[in-house]
Amino acid sequence: MNGFLFILFTTLITTSLMLLYPSGISEASHSTNGKGIYNQLVREYDMDKGKLDEGEAVNKLELMFKGYALDAVDVTKQNFNKHLDFSEESIKDVEACLDILSKTREKYKPSDEETLIMAKTYAGYIGQVIKLRWGGDWKDEKDYSFDNGPALKVKETHLFLVSKVYRRIVNGPEDNVWHSYLSFKMEQEGK
């Protein structure tokens, strides 16, 4: 899918948002810390992308998901009037955006590829929030004996975030990402 289709899809979503929620969605506070994290990720992304362009070895999966996290911040600000700040509370805002994407699927009928791109975008963001708190590394789907997409490995837990976010968009609130995050958090704090 090209960038034009992605922009078109998100523009259609924005229009439907205004119709569904004329008063808007509550805006998350955009902290200085969130902007600092965003800027740091941009620097890291640019540095690694430069290395890749020069033929140096970089972790392409990490680079890709860092890019998706940055895209999530930009897409969410532009299309949902929310400022994602890499706090755990911002995952509630991601959930609200995914809820809208889910509710508007029937009307706009995005392709599976368009839905997958949105899933990767928000999975990258959620993954970055998790990595900031607990660390972790993205693992290629080839590392697993089943096809569930790449996973974020945090300690001994494997989080298939792309699959989770995709299911949230397709299935609706039964796959709530905020609730999944809270379960993961309780598991991590219990260890």
| 73-127 pLDDT tens trace | 999 999 999 999 999 999 999 999 999 999 999 999 999 999 999 999 999 999 9
Distance, in Å, from the CA atom of 121 to the CA atom of 78, rounded to the nearest integer, reads 14
Q: What pLDDT score does 22 carry?
A: 38
Looking at the whole model, is its pTM more than 0.85? no
Q: What pLDDT score does 191 carry?
A: 63
151-158's contacts with Cβ under 8 Å and 24+ in sequence apart are: 152/127, 154/130, 154/184, 154/188, 155/188, 155/191, 157/184, 157/187, 157/188
Q: If we measure between CA atoms, which residue out of 185, 190, 127, 131 comes closest to residue 161?
A: 127
Question: How far from 29 is each of 36, 89, 90, 134, CA to CA, in Å?
Answer: 14, 10, 9, 23
**Count of residues for the chain?**
191
Q: What pLDDT score does 13 carry?
A: 52
- What residues of the chain score a pLDDT lower than 50? 1-2, 4-5, 8, 12, 14-30
Task: Quote the distance between the C-alpha of residue 74 and its chain's center.
Answer: 11
Task: Quote the distance between the C-alpha of residue 24 and its chain's center.
Answer: 21
Q: What pLDDT score does 34 carry?
A: 84
Q: What pLDDT score does 32 carry?
A: 61
Q: Are 122 and 163 in contact (CB under 8 A)?
A: no
Q: What pLDDT score does 7 carry?
A: 52
Q: What pLDDT score does 9 carry?
A: 56
Q: What pLDDT score does 41 carry?
A: 97
Please give the sequence-ordered ranges of beta strands (E in DSSP) within the chain, or none if there are none: 137-139, 151-154, 157-159
Distance, in Å, from the CA atom of 162 to the CA atom of 81, rounded to the nearest integer, reads 23
Distance, in Å, from the CA atom of 133 to the CA atom of 144, rounded to the nearest integer, reads 25
Q: What pLDDT score does 149 carry?
A: 84
Q: What pLDDT score does 145 carry?
A: 62
